[in-house]
Chains A and B, each alone.
Chain A
Amino acid sequence: MNPYKKNTLTVRWLKTAFFWGMMLACTSSLAVAGGIKHLTPTEDAYDCYACHKKATPIIAENWLDSKHGVVLVKCFVCHGQPDGQGSVPWAVSPDPKKVCVKCHDPAMKRMEFKFGLKPQCYTCHPFHQNSLHHKAYSKSQSKK
């Protein structure tokens, strides 16, 4: 028996399987990373917070206690609406360059200038967390 010949066939099968397995993994993870479909609320029950207070109470409470919650930057200002209507695109993870920039453009430009960083805001400034107490807001560099 020619071990090389046998191995070539097996190798080919394995290689094909490996390749398509990777393809499958990529595309399925894409489906997951691309976002799940948000339910369509009834017209009268469309207030994000009223529902998410029950459905995702931790996030809702974090928001309420945060600076955004105190000054009433409501959910749709950053996330838009599930059916894509309104002035802000629908996003579970809003893009800082499209959304945060509407209010925080001066601060983002300052950050970019001072620290040369692309504005990936969430790393230091958790949007929903109780940012009234978060360290990022007490750092002296972020003032004046």
Chain B
Amino acid sequence: MKVPCCRVIYFPLLFAAVLFVTGLCTQVGAADTPSTKNRPVVEECKRCHDVAMYQKELKASPHAVDKDKKEITCDKCHHFHFSPLTSYYARDEYYDKKIFPPGAFDRRKMQVTARKSMKAEKCQACHKDLYKNVKGEPISEIGRLCHDAFLGKNGETRRTCAGCHINIAHLPPFDRERSFNAEFAKKLAEEGQKK
């Protein structure tokens, strides 16, 4: 063997390369990049995502408006995902073009990824004190215990905010029959009927 070391260097390198390429295609946790032309944030998302549906759901959710009654835009909670692959479609020539039809993405899978990727800092922009709600009222005993665990003061969790707080902004069809979403689902149905 002239260069047997290659096996030890070569395979890890190959492995790293594979990771890099898949990293190109994975979307989560990438840096935020603002829109280049000061267009509304949601316009950027619209190219691939079924924004109309998500906005309808958001309107009926507890996060329709923030405590100052201002509308909550996508980027307040979600990250832009900037990677070579997706930024290809972020170019101006694709503005206003629908690249994927609504329902192209598996919402169940997206929900899992989205909940894992949502960073606590985004939530804490409004929800600064974990022991009070946005109105300043103290939370329940159960909430206090859970947040103690989140902060590592009493037990621990591996979750982020969205890991526990589910269906607080969007309500996919497969979650609409859950008993704890009854109010949300009702409001959503009413909104749907208005239009």
Contact = CB atoms under 8 A, between A and B. Distances in A.
Q: Do A and B come from one complex?
A: yes
Nearest to B6: A7
Interface residues on A, range: 20 to 34
Interface residues of B, number: 24
A39 B3 contact: no
A8 B140 CA distance: 63
Given A10-B5, A55-B164, 19 more contacts: A7-B4, A8-B5, A14-B5, A14-B12, A15-B8, A18-B8, A36-B155, A37-B155, A38-B149, A38-B155, A39-B154, A39-B155, A39-B156, A45-B142, A51-B145, A53-B180, A54-B142, A57-B178, A58-B166
27 contacts: A7-B5, A8-B5, A10-B5, A11-B4, A11-B8, A14-B5, A15-B8, A36-B156, A36-B158, A38-B149, A38-B155, A39-B154, A39-B156, A42-B141, A42-B145, A45-B145, A51-B145, A54-B140, A54-B143, A54-B146, A55-B142, A55-B146, A56-B164, A57-B180, A58-B178, A61-B179, A82-B155
Interface of B: 3-5, 8-9, 12, 140-143, 145-146, 148-149, 154-158, 164, 166, 178-180
